[in-house]
């Protein structure tokens, strides 16, 4: 199977995954329903792991892309570490059985409470994004009489050539510290007795489909590390290149993982550096879909609308970034038409697809929003007092397991005090 062939594909005219017909899953579990393939998560993880076999490396699955415990537990069972960006994600990673020595903690706004939690847990390292944060980690570590490992997130000012909302490695982005500013801060860092400066971190963006931005960032990082080593920072042993590896949503041609790995390994090996990567979308993106039912087929004067029971609160990428998500009918029919696939939420921006050619579709049909494993359920909300969807995982043997119950009406009111 080609790495980007969908795990959710037509067999005859019925959309299936691991031999399970998706419209039957929709009938059994209700919609909107997220459906994941365990094989997808495993194969993408193994692909990266084997591409990096030539270097001492750690893969830290980026929990933010999809944080269901059924998924984190699956990742833990394969030996994955975790990239977390909040106390909540750290809590999930630890609960799922990921060893603290495989957890890295990024994010520009870590609070005192979150830092204390991670220091107590003994995580592998913090990826620090500001000097204020480093000062606070030092203070907390000193109070707890602990030595805490940090990497500094360096903003390499590299253009990842992706959507501006998901570009993170340019000077004008809020992430990381520039090389120039880091160098000025080093004398102060030297005084911190409770910190071990172990690595350089750099996540330059998401959905990156060429190797060039990674090569540019890596070259900047190794030049910096060579400099640092000369001036007495001998503990620096890690380069963390973050995540960002792109997938296919539509007609993209993402880089080949083996080629990418070769370029990176050849640059890091002469300095004897270890590599951390934090892939999210690459592992989860094509490993999930959203099933949704057509509540109404509304033929307007200007357009035909397929109004689905899933909306922007369940899957926001098209509304948020104008992102393309492929939409397939679970039953392929003869004949096609051009429609808008829209949700029930009271916003004109509530759509999955606009002016899209799809199989002739009727009221009551089930649609699959494809490539919905990353940044979809993870960004779901209860806007319009809509209940969060259910999620199921299909194993390689075709067994289906509910990994999140649909919200009940009572769940909507939980924690509120009338």
Residues that bind ligand PLP (CB under 6 A): 62, 64-65, 83, 106, 203, 206, 242-245, 278-282, 374
Q: Which is nearer to ligand PLP, 118 or 331 (CB)?
A: 118
Question: Burial, 98: exposed, middle or buried (Cβ in 10 Å; 0-12, 13-18, 19+)?
Answer: buried
- Closest approach, Cβ 60 to ligand PLP, in A, equals 8
- Closest approach, Cβ 401 to ligand PLP, in A, equals 24
Q: Calculate the alpha carbon distances from 362 to 246, 292, 337 in Å.
A: 34, 13, 11
- Closest approach, Cβ 123 to ligand PLP, in A, equals 14
- Closest approach, Cβ 66 to ligand PLP, in A, equals 9
Distance CA 363, CA 293 (A): 8
- Closest approach, Cβ 79 to ligand PLP, in A, equals 18
Indicate the residue whose CB is closest to ligand PLP: 243
Angle (deg, nearest 10), helices 212-230 and 257-268: 20
Q: Which is nearer to ligand PLP, 98 or 367 (CB)?
A: 98
| Contacting residues for 59 by C-beta, under 8 A, at least 6 apart | 45, 48, 49, 52, 80, 81, 276, 277, 278, 279
Q: What is the distance of C-alpha 394 from the center of its chain?
A: 20
Q: Which of 164, 238, 228 is nearest to 202 (CA)?
A: 238
Distance CA 81, CA 79 (A): 7
Using an 8 Å Cβ cutoff, are 391 and 74 in contact? no
Given the residues 128, 330, 346, 376, the one annotated as active site: 346
Q: Which of 120, 78, 72 is nearest to 96 (CA)?
A: 72
17 included as an active-site residue: no
Using an 8 Å Cβ cutoff, are 282 and 246 in contact? yes
Q: Which is nearer to ligand PLP, 64 or 386 (CB)?
A: 64
- Closest approach, Cβ 323 to ligand PLP, in A, equals 13
- Residue 5 region, left (φ>0) first, then alpha (ψ -120 to 50), else beta? beta
- Closest approach, Cβ 256 to ligand PLP, in A, equals 16
| Contacting residues for 51 by C-beta, under 8 A, at least 6 apart | 257, 258, 260, 261
Q: Which is nearer to ligand PLP, 29 or 61 (CB)?
A: 61
Distance CA 19, CA 405 (A): 23
Using an 8 Å Cβ cutoff, are 107 and 85 in contact? yes
| DSSP-assigned beta bridge partners for residue 306 | 297, 341
Q: Which is nearer to ligand PLP, 20 or 281 (CB)?
A: 281
Q: Which is nearer to ligand PLP, 166 or 360 (CB)?
A: 166
Q: Which is nearer to ligand PLP, 158 or 331 (CB)?
A: 158
Neighbouring C-alpha atoms within 13 Å toward the C-beta of 289: 27
Which active-site residues does the annotation give? Answer: 346
């Amino acid at each position: 199977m080609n790495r980007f062939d969908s795990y959710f594909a037509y067999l005859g005219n019925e959309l299936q995954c691991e031999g399970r017909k998706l419209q039957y899953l929709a009938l059994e579990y209700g919609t909107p329903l997220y459906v994941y393939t365990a094989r997808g998560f495993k194969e993408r993880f193994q692909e990266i792991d084997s591409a990096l076999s030539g270097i001492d490396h750690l893969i830290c699955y980026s929990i933010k892309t999809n944080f269901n415990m059924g998924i984190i537990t699956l990742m833990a069972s394969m030996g994955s570490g975790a990239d977390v960006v909040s106390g909540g994600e750290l809590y999930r990673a630890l609960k799922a059985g990921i060893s603290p020595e495989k957890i890295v903690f990024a994010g520009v706004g870590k609070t005192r409470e979150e830092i204390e939690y991670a220091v107590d847990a003994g995580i592998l390292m913090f990826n620090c994004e500001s000097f204020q944060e480093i000062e606070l980690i030092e203070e907390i570590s000193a109070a707890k009489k602990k030595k805490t490992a940090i990497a500094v997130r360096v903003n390499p000012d590299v253009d990842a050539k992706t959507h501006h909302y998901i570009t993170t490695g340019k000077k004008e982005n809020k992430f990381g510290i520039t090389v120039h500013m880091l160098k000025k801060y080093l004398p102060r860092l030297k005084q911190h007795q409770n910190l071990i400066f172990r690595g350089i971190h750099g996540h330059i963006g998401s959905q990156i489909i060429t190797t060039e931005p990674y090569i540019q960032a890596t070259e900047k990082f190794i030049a910096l590390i060579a400099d640092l080593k000369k001036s007495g920072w001998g503990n620096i042993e890690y380069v963390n290149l973050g995540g960002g590896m792109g997938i296919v949503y539509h007609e993209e041609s993402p880089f080949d993982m083996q080629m990418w790995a070769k370029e990176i390994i050849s640059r890091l090996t002469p300095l004897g550096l270890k590599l951390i990567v934090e892939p999210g979308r690459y592992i989860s993106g094509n490993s999930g879909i959203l099933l949704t039912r057509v509540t109404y087929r509304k033929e307007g004067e200007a357009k035909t609308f397929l109004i689905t029971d899933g909306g922007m609160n369940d899957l926001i990428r098209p509304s948020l970034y104008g992102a393309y998500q492929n939409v397939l009918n679970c039953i392929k029919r003869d004949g096609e038409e051009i429609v808008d696939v829209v949700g029930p939420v009271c916003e004109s921006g509530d759509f999955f697809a606009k002016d899209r050619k799809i199989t002739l579709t009727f009221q009551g049909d089930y649609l699959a929003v494809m490539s919905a494993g990353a940044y979809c359920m993870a960004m779901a909300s209860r806007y319009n007092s809509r209940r969060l969807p259910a999620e199921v995982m299909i194993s390689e043997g075709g067994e289906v397991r509910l990994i999140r119950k649909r919200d009940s009406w009572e769940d909507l009111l939980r924690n509120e005090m009338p």
